[in-house]
Amino acid sequence: MTQIEVSVITPVRNGGKYIKNAVISVEKQAYPCEHIIVDDFSGDDTWDIILQLSQDRPWIKPIKLKKKTGPIGARNIGIKNSKGRYIAFLDADDIWLPGKLKSQISFMRASGYVFSSLITNV
């Protein structure tokens, strides 16, 4: 079994229309990772979609919360359940371009960084 290099943590609340694209963008990384998706007490079909996506993707670890904690609380629960050496946050309504994780981890290793972030002017 490949060691988990990165734990991708995605908090989601009522993000049923977005979560599939986020999952596919993690899948396209082709990088050893687990994807912890924390459903923050959604009232839509988010949980059903997460379960459906996780059926054929053993690297997805779904967590369903019994009460709303907010994105910070959901991220913290994801961190507590993570096994990767690195942690990456991906919001449910965002996607990553293929190769993002490989580039970022390579940069961090080459530079000796233990933390990195991308800040853009949008």
Q: In this structure, what are the phi and psi dihedrals at residue 11, rounded to the nearest 5 degrees?
A: -80, 140
Per DSSP, 99 falls in state T
Q: In this structure, what are the phi and psi dihedrals at residue 121, rounded to the nearest 5 degrees?
A: -95, 110
Mean pLDDT by 10 residues, the chain (122 residues): 86 98 96 97 98 98 98 98 96 96 94 84 58
- Give the per-residue pLDDT at 80: 98
Classify residue 59: in a domain, yes or no: yes
Classify residue 73: in a domain, yes or no: yes
CATH for 89: 3.90.550.10
Q: How many domains does the chain have?
A: 1
- Give the per-residue pLDDT at 2: 64
- Give the per-residue pLDDT at 121: 59
Range of the domain at 102: 6-111
- Give the per-residue pLDDT at 120: 62
Token duo for residue 82: 């993570």
- Give the per-residue pLDDT at 36: 98
- Give the per-residue pLDDT at 117: 85
